[in-house]
């Protein structure tokens, strides 16, 4: 039997991009669920009709009925409102926490053993809400943002250094917010050579700033939040789990003492396998990065506590 992945919010920009990424590579059969049920059916049919072209046998269907999602191996949640120019991701908390609560209640009812990948913003608080509502172990509630933010960091590093992005290894940890994401310069490498050999401290600072406001830059240009790179990043996470690849990428998870943090959520390096977030790796941070990471955890915790109040 084929694997089954459900994408809730899949009629929207990010969800449809994730679903297409999964179907294109024939990673699983895909169920697109959306409150806009007719649009979900149409978006799914369009994707199904792309499968003969991409050479995929994935079955794709769209609906508003969660019964169709029953026994999914993975459920990706992108439902919610995206930010508009001038908004911060945190501004979305009031609206999106309610949607996250409703959606996760349905998901856990129909797919009690699934691995959840949360994409909706404000990301770190939404991962908390999903974990609270489902009661799943932390291995099965994973936030998608680190792959995206790291891809943006790698892109800006490659452009500044004038090298192929393929040889740039770099990650972003902490929070998925403009203010509190932490691009880890101390561990960033180009072809196994530290980035400081390629770029001056001033240039590196410019790259860090561009990365941090990467999402806002796109929201300003497009008029709504980006979806190509966010969708591709989430599809990469699905692939790592479906194919049990053991990829090590930054994801948002609950910390149980790692990095000196307990009962809080942050983006950290995670091994993704068939078990979900199988393992967390602690790395050495510079003093400035440590301070920024601590600030990120505090910001996430503040938002988490507001969401906890909503949940009652």
Provide the annotated active-site residues. Answer: 176
Residue 65 CB neighbours (<10 A): 12
Minimum gap (Å) between residue 257 Cβ and ligand NAD: 25
Contact with ligand NAD (CB under 6 A): which of 3, 83, 140, 152?
A: 83
Stretch binding ligand NAD (CB under 6 A), from 19-27, 115-123, 189-197, 285-293: 115-123
CB 134, min distance to ligand NAD, A: 16
248-307: contacts with ligand NAD (CB under 6 A): none
First-to-final CA distance of the chain: 40
- Work out whether 80 is an interface residue with ligand NAD (CB under 6 A): yes
Site membership for ligand NAD, residue 8 (CB under 6 A): yes
User: For ligand NAD, which is the closer residue by CB, 37 or 278?
Assistant: 37
CB-nearer residue toward ligand NAD: 16 or 195: 16
Q: Is 69 in the site for ligand NAD (CB under 6 A)?
A: no
Name which of residues 124 to 163 contact ligand NAD (CB under 6 A).
144-145, 148
Q: If binding is defined by CB under 6 A, does position 199 make contact with ligand NAD?
A: no
Point out which residues bind ligand NAD (CB under 6 A).
Answer: 8-9, 11-15, 34-36, 78-83, 92, 96, 99, 102-103, 119-121, 123, 144-145, 148, 176, 224-227, 230
């Amino acid at each position: 039997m084929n694997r089954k992945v459900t994408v809730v919010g899949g009629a929207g920009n990010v969800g449809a991009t994730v679903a297409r990424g999964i179907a294109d590579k024939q990673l699983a059969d895909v169920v697109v669920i959306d409150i806009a049920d007719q649009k979900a059916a149409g978006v799914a049919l369009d994707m199904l009709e792309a499968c003969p072209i991409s050479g995929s046998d994935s079955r794709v269907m769209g609906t508003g009925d969660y019964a169709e999602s029953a026994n999914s191996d993975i459920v990706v949640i992108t439902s919610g409102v995206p930010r508009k120019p001038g908004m911060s991701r945190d501004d979305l908390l009031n609206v999106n926490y309610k949607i996250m609560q409703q959606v996760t209640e349905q998901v856990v009812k129909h797919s009690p053993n699934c691995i959840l990948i949360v994409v909706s913003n404000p990301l770190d608080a939404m991962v908390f809400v999903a974990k609270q509502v489902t009661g799943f172990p932390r291995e099965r509630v994973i936030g998608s943002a680190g792959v995206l933010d790291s891809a943006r960091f790698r892109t800006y590093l490659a452009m500044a250094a004038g090298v192929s992005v393929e040889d740039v290894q770099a990650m972003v940890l902490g929070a998925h917010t403009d203010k509190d994401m932490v691009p880890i310069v101390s561990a960033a490498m180009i072809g196994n050579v530290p980035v400081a050999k390629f770029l001056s401290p001033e240039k590196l600072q410019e790259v860090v700033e561009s990365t941090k406001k990467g999402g806002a830059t796109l929201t300003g240009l497009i008029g709504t939040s980006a979806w190509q790179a966010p969708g591709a990043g989430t599809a990469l996470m699905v692939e790592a789990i479906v194919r049990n690849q053991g990829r090590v990428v930054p994801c948002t998870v609950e910390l149980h003492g790692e990095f000196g943090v307990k009962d809080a959520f942050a983006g950290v390096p995670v091994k993704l396998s068939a078990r979900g977030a199988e393992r967390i790796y602690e790395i050495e941070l510079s003093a400035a990065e440590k301070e920024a990471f601590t600030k990120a955890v505090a910001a996430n915790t503040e938002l988490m506590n507001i969401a906890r109040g909503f949940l009652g």
